[in-house]
Amino acid sequence: MSHKFLFCILLIFTSVVFSQSTGKIAGVITDAETGAPLLGANVQVTQTLLGAVTDVNGRFVIRQMPPGLYLVRVSYIGYHSEQARIRVQRDSTSQIQVALRPSPIPFDQVIATGARQQEDLQRAANSVAVIASSEIRRRDRLRIDESLQSIAGVNLVGENVNVRGGSGYTLLGLGASRVLLLIDDVPVLTSDLGRANWDILPVTEVERIEVLKGAASVLYGAGGISGVVNVLTRRPTSTPSFSFRQSVGVYDDPSVELWRWTNRTLYYYRTDASFSNTFRRLGLRLAVSRHESTGDRENGEFRRWYFTGKAVHNFPDNSELSLFVTYSRDARGFFLQWNDQDNALRTMFRDRINVDGVAASLIYKKLFSSKFSTKARLSYNAQVIGLPFNLTKDFKPALGLSGEVQGNWLPHPDHSLLFGVDYKRDDVESKYYGTHNSQAISPYFQELWTISQIWQLHAGLRYDTYVVVGDSVETQLSPKLGASYNFLPGSILHFSFGRGFRVPSIAERFSETPPGTNVRIISNPDLQPERSTLFDAGLRQRLGENLSAEVTAFWNKYDYLIELAQLRGQLGGQFRNYPPARIRGLEAEIKARGWKNRLGLEAALTWMDSENLSDDDASGLRKGQALPYRPRFTAFVSPSFSFGPATLEADYRYMSRYETVTFFPFDERVPQKVLNLRLLYRFGRLSMQLAVKNAANYNYTPVERVLGEVRNFTFSISGEF
Amino acid sequence: MRSQIPKCLSALAFLLLLGGGCSYDHGLDPVPSRIKGMIIFEGGPPPFYVREARLVVAKKVPPENFTTDVILSDPLPFNRDASHTGPDTVHYEVVVEPGTYAITAILWRRESQAWNIANILGLYGVDFTKQEFTPKEVVIDKDHPVADSVDVRAYWLFTQRDASISGTINFKGAWRDDTDFFVLGFYSEIPRNQFEYLNFSSFLFVLQRAPVASYPYSAAVNSGKYKFIALFWKGKASNLADIRAIGFYRCAGDSLLPASAETSANTPAAQINFDANFATLPGGIHFSAVENCGQP
């Protein structure tokens, strides 16, 4: 039996079949232990741009292969990668069958975000983390931002995703995100507030999430000043496939009897269903989700709908047209803050808000040869972010239209050139910031140079021109440099350096509410763009089959950070450029399996030190003072124990108390210590899960005067047919 | 396979025991007792050298140990913007144990300077606009767990300390065993009654309970003329409003006329020596309100 683990069965055989003037590679990718076909395995022809992804039967076809000898690399999350040499002949199909061995540790992942083209995660120059769909399901995550909490250097402050402390927290979410949210490489930040809607699509439709920590502006332009979260959605299957997940849960009583605010049973349920198939050359995937909850607190109930569709048409000439559309609607009560600490689950605010979002993208990919490919994209984004105090009615949906043309050329087997131009147009209207139209155009290029088997170099440059029509023009040149050094088998040093920038959102610059309103905002048209200088260096280490570790040090400097400076004695403020700040830190991640793959451990630790670099009278910040809402320590530890078809898992998340906060500095603050427990059971194509979230019923405030989620119990069942 | 099941169960039991053996704290709880109110900053913006200001609550004044005897808040947000003309206020809420708190005050400090109870911006009970000069105690007990509206006015004027006055206090008479502390007060105007004792421009706590013959002092004050410099005594059984003057810097040859001292940033006032006599207690020493040693 153990031999099966040690050696994979690799069968390669070729057959001559009628084809065109070029050849094809076709094959099947299976699990070496069970023989089951693997859906979504990545097949790449090295030193070319050719590749494919397997369908639900584990099959793939790579067309337009010039005759020759090739090295094919097959990778899949949770399995060891395999390589095979194969000869392609004119007008023939070379068949390949690869059986992948399961890997306790996901060593050999292929990512698409760090260099904006496929590359091996182990050799990436950037710090990139990957969350697979299996992990999202296993941890019973319901939102994209929730799914990121197991990554070193990433933490949530309310609905703000912090990558290496780059973001903070803004009241009512009025400030823009410093983390760029992409869906299938397409930016989807709101056009007016520059915010990320982390609940814009159901997580069941996510294939994987790639998080780029560090300089990203060179690749993705304004927005990714501290990082990028790229959500890659699932592709249509070639045969009919139906999947579902049904979850029901109840909230426990709060740990403090005084906080109990109702005698009703508080519950939630969630239903996800999707269907996928390919009709001739057209692959379709449709998904619908419904999530409803009473909430665990007063005015905390919500109802959410999600509709997602993806259509992919493969043309005979090796080109592909795909359309992706997602729509979400979230109608909920708005729990702004508690009444007081004796009534932590009650609020005097009774506002209800709706958050609506639609994002669509049309992408055309054309492979001209094994050395040259192009991609053209059009995308549309319309979102209304709900605001309390009846403010939402004064906002028209913020519209964003963007397009991109990109080329990828391999002039030499060791050089990969990526170049293109981005265009973006935003149209926004609100009685608070008026009517504005902004446009941005950005040419960019990047070189990925494989100097030798052990050295790889990334270098890139991007020039952004951002125009608020009739108002201002901003330009920015963003360089980036990175390298990876594979000095020993299993040991890789990497470093990256880059500059990022973010233009102030329309809302940050122009929002103005009249005196006497609930939230008083004063405009500041003179806001400067934020700028960042980001540097990191780290070591990825693989120790045998069952242990991997990564340690990364980072040093980031931010200039002109835009924060909401609070008004005295009134809710609201004015967006201002803050003094320069520096955030440095250390991240460590470890993944280990042992005792016949029954025991597992994942851990992520982060130490972070943030500091203002000068006094600033306007904001009241002093030199040396820590930035608000930046925890010094975060830790995530997840042990697991498998016995037969069952797995028992625990997640423990720790976050030290914020040293400084903006709005209620006198409130008692405690560290976050959240323990989640899960029991999973697989039964054929079905899997069941019993989970306890916040098992210790620990009370903390993720943001001021908002209590963390009360202990709750979930049962869920999911299946794929 | 059969032999592996007990191992699995043992491991599972071990994990559960491990989890069950851990004791978790529950984090936040309802606050049983607290002091809350509003801080009103007056006369801003503060000078550039003000590093930070905090609220301090203490049962005993002055506290003997600044790290254990006081509750010190996080840094207070206040406005440094000179163009800001509106009120500069902040609401506060401090979690405290039940007890009697002698002072609720706002302190400030310079860069790299330690906290000093003398660096007071304002005290609960002291409000110049209302002509109130008596620090008020705050009592927290089971029946009254929350003290609300404990508002404090903080005066940036008190941060102005560019000069100094130094000298020696010579103690006379039998040392009082019930001595709690002394306060050395510096006044721009001679106080005319007990209520105006707290209308000082600057002051210095003297934590000297054991008998000494003399006490050298050095106090940071603002440039200017101080018409009255006196040492006040507080007994252990009395409250802050019952402090008594037992000595003052006086004119030569006249025991009742206060002498003045002038100081500036470049010319510190030194040798401001005077006697303090315990024999004047309990009523305290008498002094005249005549300025400039009776000279026109």
Listed residues B96, B130, B159: the one ending a domain: B159
CA distance A341 to chain B (A): 5
Q: Residue B32's closest chain A neighbor by CA?
A: A342
Q: Give me the residues paired with residue A234 across strands.
A: none
Q: Do B19 and A650 touch (CB under 8 A)?
A: yes
Are B167 and B155 found together in one domain? no
**B8 domain residue, yes or no:** no
Residue B88 lies in a domain: yes
Q: Give residue A515's pLDDT.
A: 76
Cβ contact (<8 Å) for B87 and A568? yes
Residue B135 lies in a domain: yes
**Chain A residues inside the 8 Å CB shell of B91:** 666
pLDDT mean over A67-93: 85
Residue-wise DSSP of A403-414: EEEEEEEEEETT
Are B295 and B251 within 8 A, CB to CB? no
With CB atoms and an 8 Å threshold, state whether B19 touches A617: no
Q: Say if residues A153 and A540 touch (Cβ distance below 8 Å).
A: no
| Integer Cα distance of A232 and A76 in angstroms | 15
Contact: B75, A665; criterion CB under 8 Å: yes
Q: Are residue B138 and residue B256 in the same domain, yes or no?
A: no
Residues B136 and B176 in one domain: no
B10 and chain A: CB distance < 8 Å anywhere?
A: no
Q: Do B208 and B151 reside in the same domain of the chain?
A: no
Task: Measure in Å the smallest separation between the Cα of A178 and chain B Cα atoms.
Answer: 25
| Chain A interface includes B145 (CB < 8 A) | no
Question: Would you say residue B208 lies in a domain?
Answer: yes
The H or E element containing residue A119 is: strand A119-120
Q: Is B21 on the interface with A (CB under 8 A)?
A: no
* pLDDT value for A7: 32
| Interface predicted TM-score (ipTM) over 0.95 | no
DSSP string for B237-271: TS-GGG-EEEEE-B-TT-SSSBP-EEE-SSS-B--
Q: Are residues B235 and B132 in the same domain?
A: no
Most confident segment among A15-19, A170-174, A580-584, B19-23: A580-584
Contact B11/A at CB under 8 A: yes
3-state helix, strand, coil in chain B (%, to 5): 15, 40, 50
Residues B214 and B255 both lie in one domain:
yes
Q: Which token pair is A458?
A: 């990334």
Do the chains contact at B82 and A341, CB–CB below 8 Å?
A: no
Cβ pair A690, A712 in contact under 8 A: no
Measured between CA atoms, the residue of chain B closest to residue A673 is B27
Whether residues A666 and B24 touch (CB distance < 8 A) is answered with no
Q: Which amino acid is at A87?
A: R
**Given the DSSP bridges, would you call strands A179-183 and A227-233 parallel, antiparallel or unpaired?**
parallel
Last residue of a domain, one of B135, B159, B183: B159
DSSP B145-184: -EE----EEEEGGGG---EEEEEEEEEESPPPTTEEEEEE
Query: What is the C-alpha to C-alpha distance for residues B225 and A585, in angstroms, rounded to an integer?
Result: 52
Q: What is the pLDDT of residue A114?
A: 61
Let me know whether B155 and B38 are in one domain: yes
The domain tally of chain B equals 2
Read off the CATH number of the domain in which B66 is found: 2.60.40
Q: Is B143 on the interface with A (CB under 8 A)?
A: no
- Contact map slice: A 232-271 vs B, CB within 8 A: 255-256, 258-259
Task: Tell me whether residues A344 and B28 touch, CB distance under 8 A.
Answer: yes
Residue pair B135/B126 in contact (Cβ under 8 Å)? The answer is yes
Task: Say if B276 falls within a structural domain.
Answer: yes
Q: Which two tokens stand for residue A303?
A: 């109802």
The pair of three-digit structure tokens given for residue A411, joined into one six-digit string: 């002039």
Distance CA A696, CA A66 (A): 61
Please give the interface size between A and B, counted as residue pairs whose CB atoms are below 8 Å apart.
Answer: 103
Report the C-alpha gap between A425 and B23 in whole angstroms. 55
Judging contacts by C-beta atoms under 8 Å, the chain A residues touching residue B15 are 639, 641, 648
In which domain, by residue range, is B99 found?
34-159
Closest to A255 (Cβ–Cβ): which among B11, B26, B82?
Answer: B26
User: Distance between alpha carbon A526 and the CA centroid of its chain, in Å?
Assistant: 32
Q: Do B28 and A568 touch (CB under 8 A)?
A: no
* B113 lies within 8 A of chain A by CB: no
Predicted confidence at residue A5, as pLDDT, reads 33
Measure the CA–CA gap between A222 and A180, rounded to whole angstroms: 8
Residue in A closest to B90 by C-alpha: A569
Lowest-pLDDT range of A565-579, A635-649, A672-686: A565-579
Task: Tell me, yes or no, whether B58 lies in a domain.
Answer: yes
How many CA atoms lie less than 13 Å away from A496 in the CB half-sphere? 28
**Model pLDDT, residue A698:** 94
Domain boundary among the residues B159, B182, B205 is at B159
Instruction: Look at strands A520-522 and A547-559 and give their pairing.
Output: unpaired
Q: Provide, for chain A, the percentages of residues in helix, strand and coil under a 3-state DSSP scheme, each rounded to the nearest 5.
A: 5, 55, 40
Mean pLDDT over all residues of chain A? Answer: 85
Looking at chain A from residue 598 to 617, which residues have their Cβ under 8 Å from any Cβ of chain B?
Answer: 598-599, 615-617
pLDDT digits (tens, 9 = 90+) for A676-716: 999 999 888 899 999 999 999 999 999 888 999 999 999 99
Q: Is the pTM of this model over 0.95?
A: no
Q: Which residue blocks in A428-576 are alpha helix, DSSP H?
A: 506-510
Please indicate, yes or no, whether residues B175 and B149 belong to a single structural domain of this protein: no
Specify if B151 maps to a domain: yes
B88 lies in the same domain as B127? yes
Q: What is the mean pLDDT of residues B176-197?
A: 84
Pair A692, B100: CB distance under 8 Å: no
Q: Residues A358-376: what's their mean pLDDT?
A: 90
Nearest Cα residue in chain B from A623 = B51
B88/chain A closest Cα distance in angstroms: 6
Considering the domain boundaries, does residue B26 fall inside one? no
Q: By three-state DSSP, how is residue A133 classified?
A: helix
**Same domain? B155 vs B167:** no
Rounded CA-CA distance A143/A167 in Å is 19
Assess whether pLDDT exceeds 60 at residue A82.
Answer: yes
Nearest to B94 among A615, A644, A666 (CB): A666
- Domain identity same for B130 and B75: yes
What secondary structure letter does DSSP report for B12? H
Q: Are residues B181 and B281 in the same domain?
A: yes
Chain A CB contacts of B86 below 8 Å:
568-569
A551, A540 in Cβ contact below 8 A? no
Binning pLDDT at 50, 70 and 90, where does residue A6 land? Answer: very low
